[in-house]
Amino acid sequence: MSSKRILIVEDEFIIAQNLTQILVELGYVVSGHAFDAAQALAILQKGQTDLALLDVSLGAGMDGIALAAEIRSGFALPFIFLTSHSDKQTIERAKEVHPSGFLVKPFNRSEIFPAIEIALANVQQESARDHLFVKVGATMKKVFFSEITVLEADRVYVEVHRKGLPRLIVRESLHAWEEKLPSSFLRVHRSYIIYLAHVDAVGLNAVTVGGKEIAINKQVREEILARIT
């Protein structure tokens, strides 16, 4: 039986109840039910979710696609969209945040199970990778994730700080790096991504990683603490 924890973000109570029943019957744990983006982010801050099911239309405030962008940048979790709209415009917006799946309402149990399992399997496969190749000057260099402490944006370049190794300067955006990194990395600032395994200390307003101190806000601090514990 799977013990993976699923967050439901759905503003229609009956649909959410139906989803909860299906997920429990399939052996998943429902980490929470949120009616809107604010509630969803509060649940995610607890660090007890492995995948989110996101309704695209959440009424007033942030919609599911905007919420997905927050999840991708702040939590690095897979998410699957739930929607009654399969029009081209919705699909194009959804594609921009790279969902792990897309379920059109009304959906059933036989559609939900494979969508979740494939999304989780893809994350597991991604986390199994231990390196990537980056272009440093005219050379393609192999960089292991485990040696990276901090990625620091510097205009059109990224400085790759490495534990016990010289820094690398790569002409690539921080966003491009974020797309390729496993969930053990976290973007803590518009200019910084850190490797959580190398966190040395977490203060009230800063995190120290590999000897480098980086200013953070309260929300990021709580996310770091949740993830490292």
pLDDT, tens digit, 9 for 90 and up, residues 213-228: 999 999 999 999 988 8
Residue type, 78: P
- Residue-wise pLDDT for 175-207, tens only, equals 888 888 888 899 999 999 999 999 999 999 999
Q: Is 44 helix (H, G, I), strand (E, B) or coil?
A: helix
Task: Judge whether 64 and 35 are in contact, CB under 8 Å.
Answer: no
Instruction: Judge residue 13's burial from the number of C-beta atoms within 10 Å of its C-beta, 0-12 exposed, 13-18 middle, 19 or more buried.
Output: exposed
pLDDT for residue 128 = 59
- Residue-wise pLDDT for 12-40, tens only, equals 999 999 999 999 999 999 999 999 999 99
Which stretch of 38-52, 70-84, 108-122, 157-171 has the lowest confidence by average pLDDT?
70-84
Q: How far apart are the first and last CA of the chain?
A: 25
Task: Judge whether 58 and 102 are in contact, CB under 8 Å.
Answer: no
pLDDT for residue 18 = 93
Higher pLDDT, 71 or 79: 79
pLDDT for residue 1 = 43
Encoded tokens for 221: 């601090």
Q: Is 171 helix (H, G, I), strand (E, B) or coil?
A: coil
Task: Report whether pLDDT(95) > 90.
Answer: no
Give percent above pLDDT 70 in the chain: 96
Nearest-5° Cα angle at 138, 137 to 140: 95
- Global pTM exceeds 0.85: no
Q: Is 82 helix (H, G, I), strand (E, B) or coil?
A: strand
Encoded tokens for 172: 């690539």
Q: Is the peptide bond preceding residue 166 cis, with omega within 30 degrees of 0?
A: no
pLDDT for residue 192 = 96
pLDDT for residue 3 = 82
